[in-house]
Structure 1
Amino acid sequence: MATLCRPAVAVPEHVITLDQTLDLARTLHAGHPQLPLALRLIENTGVRTRHLVQPIERTLTHPGFTARNEVYEREAKLRVPEVVERALGYAELTARDIDLIVYVSCTGFMMPSMTAWLINRMGFRSDTRQVPIAQLGCAAGGAAVNRAHDFCRAYPGANVLIVACEFCSLCYQPTDLEVGSLLSNGLFGDAVAAVVMRGHGGHGVHVERNGSHVVPDTEGWISYGVRDTGFHFQLDKRVPGTMAMLAPALRGLADQHGWDVSGLGFYIVHAGGPRILDDLCRFLGLEPAAFRHSRATLTERGNIASAVVFDALARLFAEGAVPDGAPGLIAGFGPGITAEISLGSWTTVPSEPARRRPRAISAAEVTLVHPAAPRRFPAGTTITE
């Protein structure tokens, strides 16, 4: 049975607070007829701090899509390797033990994918498989877990590395003045996360079942307008009410597995906003504390897109209070409207012996590891467990 191990998470060194966000909105949009509404919505997000990959002065400028995507590629290559190394360490594996890399991101574009760069720079085997996921937005974290689980079921004993790299601040568009865009300017943050799913052994969540659900005729509710200036985030005002349509999918998958979704031991869900979590509590009959880790991610880091579920899961590991065998749920929500759902049981002692590939590599293979590959974040970067 595949086990999702402890995630590694890091956020950039540049921080913006709620008060700074509100002051910027008042200054930049002083004449906006719906400014009071936008300010109220930003305050109600519950976000108190966010981390940005660039200083706020540079974030607010728009040098063009080409320059922004260059920032995305440069910062991803700078920040991802260290997080990957920590995730491998938590799983007690090396790069050569990995059979598949799933890379998720909706805030920049690279081809070849970041997966190829990692294989060439960090010593992964040349036959490592690659699955880049770019168009599932915030749901991609849950989708990555599900595709990793599918792979481990198809290839028993295989190990999968998942990487989520989201620099949402690079999608800031100064000319987008709809209320939804102004709200997103105060909601999204930047983060990098990595986690390993082990085919055998490991400590964490034994994933037992996964499923997906798309709400019919809602594909326009969360979307990108792709223009000369890059990605323009578009948010329908009906999005906050989507849990009425998605909560039954969570309950239905749990029912198929013989579990009561209202009586699980832990819940890791995408924190798109406080109403999402409040509605889930109401529809699933849960106390607010059930989503404490998702709420903490939202408060301290904002909506960090596909990385949310891994940041919340890392907080669950750090809390250290889940009893062995406790059933739980992981879910990501995003464009489509899509839900990606996993069910699994917590394990503190591996139920199966670890199976690892030989650690020795040849001199020729050593050259695959680029000597200049970065291993450290810039000063001020926050690294979490």
Structure 2
Amino acid sequence: MSPLPEPKPEIEMPTYIHHIETQAAEHPYQQEFIRDKMKSWTQNPKSIRLLHALYQRSGIKTRHSVVDDFNHPRGGSLFKIDEQGTPSNPTTAERNAVFSRASRELSVSVARRALAASGFAREDITHVVYASCTGFVNPGPDFYLVRDLNLKSSVERYTIGFMGCYAAFPALRMAAQFCEARKEAVVLVVCLELCTLHMQLDDRPDAMLANSLFADGAAAAIVSAREPSRDRPAYRVEGFASALVPKGEAEMAWDVGDHGFDIKLTSYVPEILGAELQPLMQRLLLPWKKSCQEIEEWAVHPGGRGILDKVELGLGLSNESLLSSRRILHDYGNMSSATILFVLKDLLQSARTRQASTIAMAFGPGLTVESALLQRVGSATPHRGSRQATLQSLQEVMIHV
């Protein structure tokens, strides 16, 4: 693992993630339904067995997509089904045309909801940071976030592109730096991923694995240096850390092909991450004189069930520690960069205490590991019986794993 830069143990001007809003894409699909569709589109007995195993072990019940094509016998506008029952393989241009429309609608919708619930006015927004790796268009969602939400024309816009599942961390780090530099700054962060547009319907193991995991969704966060209200749950940003795991470089990659984006994703990724996370966490927590055992809440990107299992084992975490990550995987699948914000929101909503030290982390091509140390503050009084409710939720999720 490459050396880590020393994170700052103190931030001169604390910054806060005041509110997180999430939104899945419009069309839900049950995992069993997609599994059976995929099996019907191959004649290879080995592929059929592998597909069945991948979907059964995924830990996912439901995923969402911006396309409704697979609910119709003849497909839809993007993935068409011919008379022999074979699905089409759309070009990259055809897939990106759907991204152009759907990314604008979904990003504006989730951002509008975030503003409405955050306590901030549209006039307060000074910066927009938008992250995505699943499409390219200009003017893009960053432009329409300003125009369609009627933000000030002077708002600064930044796009973080093609970084993958960990992109929420560079986006939040950038937002925090803006707020540290300008005390009046209020940053709207939007992560949007339409992964299902790039489904590759063939018998390559990488494609079959990706098709069993990825989904569409968006999340928005409001970041500023203002002190949050005591009765509103929020996160105080303590610091960030990045690391590279070179031995995993060939195991995860993302490239532009003629028929969508081509992913390289092998089953070795969980093994590699599980072996490397302990030294990463020790280095991240050293300036704050904390150990993994002192972290009260964990927000781990649910890249897949295997990744969560290996993180839990590698860091010696309890079965409850990754409940929010497993719940998001179960209910939504892997929505790339937006997913970690779904997990952080779930932790806010299910809080059992008024504050907690929180580690958030995500993984992506490289292999890259991005992480943040956060302090949850301002949570409302937890409901009585929340411990029992948490254990019941864990049991319900694990039944489907």
Same fold (TM over 0.5): yes
Q: Report what 2:28 is aligned to.
A: 15
Query: Number of residues paired by the alignment?
Result: 348
Which of 90, 101, 110 is equivalent to 1:63?
A: 90
Partner Cα separation in structure 2 for residue 217 and residue 116 of structure 1 = 38
Q: Report what 1:46 is aligned to.
A: 59
Q: Which runs of 5+ in 2 are unaligned?
A: 1-13, 81-88, 381-401
Q: Work out which structure has the larger RCO, using CA pairs closer than 8 Å and 6 or more positions apart in sequence.
A: 1
Amino acid at match of 1:261: C
Amino acid at match of 2:54: L
Q: Deviations along 1:302-327, whole A, 9 cap, x unmatched?
A: 11111111111121122132323x21
- Structure 1 position 154 matched with structure 2 position 149: no
Partner Cα separation in structure 1 for residue 63 and residue 330 of structure 2 = 8
- Structure 1 position 323 matched with structure 2 position 354: yes
Amino acid at match of 1:214: L
Give 1:256 deviation, angstroms.
2.4
Q: Alpha carbon RMSD of aligned pairs, Å? A: 1.9
Checking the alignment, whether the CA contact within 8 Å between 2:299 and 2:344 is kept in structure 1 is: yes
SS of the residue corresponding to residue 219 of structure 1 reads helix
- Structure 1 position 296 matched with structure 2 position 327: yes
SS of the residue corresponding to residue 371 of structure 2 reads strand
SS of the residue corresponding to residue 46 of structure 1 reads coil
Provide closer, same or farther for how the CA distance between residues 29 and 96 of structure 1 changes in structure 2, counting only shifts above 3 A.
same
Give 1:120 deviation, angstroms.
2.5
Q: Deviations along 1:215-268, whole A, 9 cap, x unmatched?
A: 125333221231222211111332121232234212320122221122212111
SS of the residue corresponding to residue 38 of structure 1 reads helix
Partner Cα separation in structure 2 for residue 302 and residue 48 of structure 1 = 8
How do 1:189-268 residues align onto structure 2 when only pairs under 5 Å count? 189-202=215-228, 203-241=233-271, 242-268=273-299
Checking the alignment, whether the CA contact within 8 Å between 2:108 and 2:144 is kept in structure 1 is: no
Partner Cα separation in structure 2 for residue 182 and residue 27 of structure 1 = 13
Q: Report what 1:135 is aligned to.
A: 162
Q: Report what 1:280 is aligned to.
A: 311
Q: Which runs of 5+ in 1 are unaligned?
A: 351-385
Provide closer, same or farther for how the CA distance between residues 157 and 347 of structure 1 changes in structure 2, counting only shifts above 3 A.
farther
SS of the residue corresponding to residue 166 of structure 2 reads helix
Give 1:127 deviation, angstroms.
2.5
Give 1:86 deviation, angstroms.
1.6
TM-score scaled by structure 2? 0.82
Provide closer, same or farther for how the CA distance between residues 131 and 182 of structure 1 changes in structure 2, counting only shifts above 3 A.
same
- Structure 1 position 35 matched with structure 2 position 48: yes
- Structure 1 position 77 matched with structure 2 position 90: no
Partner Cα separation in structure 2 for residue 30 and residue 269 of structure 1 = 37
Checking the alignment, whether the CA contact within 8 Å between 1:213 and 1:340 is kept in structure 2 is: yes
Q: Report what 1:308 is aligned to.
A: 339
Q: Deviations along 1:85-111, whole A, 9 cap, x unmatched?
A: 221233211222122211111111112
Give 1:156 deviation, angstroms.
3.0
- Structure 1 position 168 matched with structure 2 position 195: yes
